[in-house]
Structure 1
Amino acid sequence: METNKPGKPVHGAASRWTILGLLAIGVLISFIDRTSISSALADHNFVKEFALSSVDRGWINAAFFWSYGLFQIPMGVVADRYGVKWPYAICFAAWCLATAAMGAVTALSALVIMRLIIGATEAIVIPASYRWIRNNFDESQNGFAVGILAMGNKFGPAIGAPVGAWLIVNYSWNIMFVATGIVGLLWLAPWLGLVRNDFPNKEQLATAKRKASSVTFGAILSSPVVWGGMITNFCYGYFTFYCMSWMPAYLVEQRGLSLEKSGVYTFFSFAGIAIVAAIAGWAADRVIASGKDPVLVRKAFIIAGFIGGCTVLLGAYAQTLEAALFWNVLSLSLLGLATANNLALSRLTLIPKQAIGAVTGVQQVATSLAGGVAASLSGWLLHISGSYDLPMLVIFVFLIIGAVATAVLFRPEWAPKVTEPAAPATKTPDNGTQNKSAA
């Protein structure tokens, strides 16, 4: 099967990997800022300051995801039509400042408002990043490129949890928010200096609008591939966001670890999934480069990742602390087999180039919904059961659903269709898995 091929890269071979590294660091910072709240919610002083119940903690965790999900599609359209550099930079500065401002809030309502602002502005990250990758890498590099990007969103909570815990223990939750927000702003200097200005002029803007309109929103929403991506991203995200939102509290409250030690084990879990994600993406690329079908190869890795993640249930019912920690780390690490390959397949391989940002935005709605549901539902299940076993059983169910959706819905003939020529030279509609004229 012939798959999407990029046009002429907007950056040289060396610099595109440098900028991919910047994108990964940008994702890392975004995840540190969005997940720093989990360390605060495991801190007794923070919980006492705002008089929080388990349900309250769930809703605070979820607030980010509601605005994050609401702005995913608009930000995807922005990435498709207005480029990556300046929209990303503006939103980046906004969420860093909002994170720092959380250190000064004294009311629960203000805390929630800051979380909503962070969610809205961070919504640019994933659509813009995938748009940039699609313009600069081909199918035999997509898995590794996405794996590198995914390392950012896994090392974010991996680094953020222990650093956040250390800052809270040694200083305060206020200092933790201010420090993580202000330090993140340093990223803007290399981004503004190295990335080409891709904000379009009037002619380029008209061309971008024409290309974007060649894949209608109706075609996107009627595609089983897009819905398959929404389901797999929801199921994958439910597990990872549960870990980002509740793992520190689970390790402290049910397994008896200190806040500092919980941060260390959270690091190992997310470092594990990050490393496996990059290796699995690279391995799939090598198999595809040897001539194997990209869709079948990536589906095999995705299903293996979902099944491997199901071992989380062994950790939930483990009788010893050592066994619980082992399965806690291993289950999330094995899910890394699905990470890059799911994202490459559902957002790049099977999607016309003109619609990468919009489709990513649609699928990110499901991802953000997973975050909101995982945070709030887990808090409610914890409240009614008094144990983390029930929340972890729900994770198992969603992982099975994700594996089934991967096997059934990711079919090339069900990809979104190009309904109009994307450029004057195009004479026939595209089938959704190749699009040379738009490259």
Structure 2
Amino acid sequence: MSVQSAPAEVRASARTAATETMELRRWSVLALLSVGAVIAFIDRTSIASVLAVGSFRVQFHLTDIGRGALASAFFWSYALLQIPMGWLVDRYGVKFPYAIMFAVWCVASACTGLMSTFSGLIIMRILTGVGESVVVPASYRWIRANFTEDRSGFAVGIYMIGTKIGPAIGAPLAAWLIVLNSWRLMFLLCGFVGLLWLVPWLLLARNDSRGRDAAAKAAAKAIPLSNVLSSPLVWGTIIINFCYNYFVFYCMTWMPAYLVEQRGLSLRTMGIYSFFSFGGIALVALASGWAADVLIRRGHDAVIVRKAFVIAGFALACTELLGAVSHSVNEALFWNVVSLSGLGLATANHLALCRLTLIPAPAVGLVTGIQNVSTSLAGIVAPLLSGWLLEWSGGYRAPMEVIFVFLVVGAVTCLVLLRRRWAPVLPDENDEPPRMPLHLETSLVHRG
């Protein structure tokens, strides 16, 4: 090796080492975002197991309507702060806003275990929603800034695993802690142990604030809202998003109580069935998304393929009504797992169809933000309406019949309104497409 070539080789070696270090840091931060989603969903869904505890209901004098209000309180603040949190991470970056709001929701979740009044519980659930409203805007903003288009799909897939694992383990974990000690200890442990996540986050994540000028320049190029709201396709995606998430949020908030009160399961056994139900939707979602991609690569029309998967998912989810009317516990449990797992056929494909395949790139961010509102609305309405129907009818059949109606509406809407010719129209398609504000592009979509 010549003397002249040595410095160049050393420099190349140093660059390679630096690149590998950056790659390791990038994937480590992505893994942290996925784990953060797991923690968020555990803290979000833990209340469902508590609502199935008889002593808890007696202590706080909870009616079924009161249980519904407590289950939905999280989404009151969560819905209002979707777009503001997107603006926050766009203006100040992901690292510190995420860290601050993470601490807010963990402490609020832990303090839920210290409350002795119903109003105190409501306040803590609202504060938990305030903190968690940053999760998806921050995660999607970070992924967009750190992964190229040809790798962003896989990155989003890794992040989405966390949003499915969280509900899958949240109910059994909460049930196990309640059985082990009490609901108060469950909240304290889930909240304060979660704070440990902040240590690697603060060490690995880098400050990526864009600054005021960059955010203002992006905001000036936004597509008009009127162009989006005049599209029948957009309204179709809003309806589908609501119908899909109505069933999901019912399962997150009322399914544990249904399994304990209607089907006579213990808290421990309830947790196991909840795990298989949410684990099922995660596995089916992954498999169906991959299967649809394969069919599309083989030349099949993307809209037809994804619509077929979405409609099939809604149809299979309708089997929840078979469980509701069954007199057999085993049969009811079977359809409980099948219906929620079956909805996984629609999970990845309705996201791809409603946000990518049919929506022009400059409108994706704004449409996503609007869809987030319908997601949060489902999170508010599902627990409240189900609680009211439970108290009015005295059983869980009426709430599950409403789910059936929404699932049918979602399938019909997908068939009728999701058509290319009704996509939002750009102001002037001869001009260069405007770029959406990043805080709108990365607005929260909870599947979660």
Q: Answer yes or no: is 1:289 the counterpart of 2:262.
A: no
Q: CA deviation at 1:291?
A: 4.1
Q: Distance in 2 between matches of 1:170 and 1:278?
A: 34
User: Which residue of 363, 367, 376 corresponds with 1:368?
Assistant: 376
Q: Distance in 2 between matches of 1:14 and 1:94?
A: 29
Contact 1:62 1:372 in 2 (8 A): yes
Q: Distance in 2 between matches of 1:282 and 1:331?
A: 20
Aligned residue in 1 for 2:40 = 30
Aligned residue in 1 for 2:168 = 158
Q: CA deviation at 1:58?
A: 0.8
Which residues of 2 match residues 263-302 of structure 1 at below 5 A? 263-302=271-310
Moved more, 185-194 or 361-370: 185-194
Aligned residue in 2 for 1:184 = 194
How many residue pairs get aligned? The number is 416
Deviations 1:239-290 (A, max 9, x none): 1111111111101111011111111111110010011112222222333334
Aligned sequence identity (%): 57
Q: Distance in 2 between matches of 1:57 and 1:173?
A: 15
Letter in 1 for 2:82: Q
Q: Distance in 1 between matches of 2:291 and 2:24?
A: 21
Question: Normalized against structure 2, the TM-score is what?
Answer: 0.84
Deviations 1:138-158 (A, max 9, x none): 47963x555443332222121
Deviations 1:413-436 (A, max 9, x none): 433444489xxxxx6154999xxx
User: Which residue of 227, 231, 238 corresponds with 1:230?
Assistant: 238
Aligned residue in 2 for 1:403 = 411
Contact 2:89 2:209 in 1 (8 A): no
Aligned residue in 2 for 1:207 = 217
* Corresponding residue SS for 1:104: coil
Summarize the Cα distance change of 1:290–1:192 in structure 2 as closer, same or farther, 3 Å threshold.
farther
Which residues of 2 match residues 15-414 of structure 1 at below 5 A? 18-79=28-89, 82-134=92-144, 136=147, 138=149, 142=153, 145-210=155-220, 213-353=221-361, 356-414=364-422
Question: Normalized against structure 1, the TM-score is what?
Answer: 0.86
Q: Distance in 2 between matches of 1:186 and 1:268?
A: 27
Q: Distance in 2 between matches of 1:224 and 1:431?
A: 22
Unpaired runs of 5+ residues, structure 2, are 1-20, 442-448
User: Which structure has the larger Rg over C-alpha atoms?
Assistant: 2
* Corresponding residue SS for 2:31: helix
Q: CA deviation at 1:101?
A: 1.2
Q: Distance in 2 between matches of 1:134 and 1:296?
A: 28
* Corresponding residue SS for 2:343: helix
Unpaired runs of 5+ residues, structure 1, are 1-10, 422-426
Summarize the Cα distance change of 1:207–1:293 in structure 2 as closer, same or farther, 3 Å threshold.
farther
Moved more, 392-401 or 225-234: 225-234
Q: CA deviation at 1:387?
A: 1.1
Q: Distance in 2 between matches of 1:360 and 1:79?
A: 16
Aligned residue in 2 for 1:424 = none
Q: Distance in 1 between matches of 2:144 and 2:258?
A: 38
Q: Distance in 2 between matches of 1:220 and 1:409?
A: 14
Q: Distance in 2 between matches of 1:190 and 1:354?
A: 35
Summarize the Cα distance change of 1:197–1:402 in structure 2 as closer, same or farther, 3 Å threshold.
same
Deviations 1:267-319 (A, max 9, x none): 11001001111222222233333444433332222111111111111111122
Q: Answer yes or no: is 1:428 the counterpart of 2:434.
A: no
Summarize the Cα distance change of 1:207–1:429 in structure 2 as closer, same or farther, 3 Å threshold.
same
Contact 2:91 2:212 in 1 (8 A): no
Q: CA deviation at 1:88?
A: 2.6
Q: Distance in 2 between matches of 1:367 and 1:48?
A: 31
* Corresponding residue SS for 1:271: helix
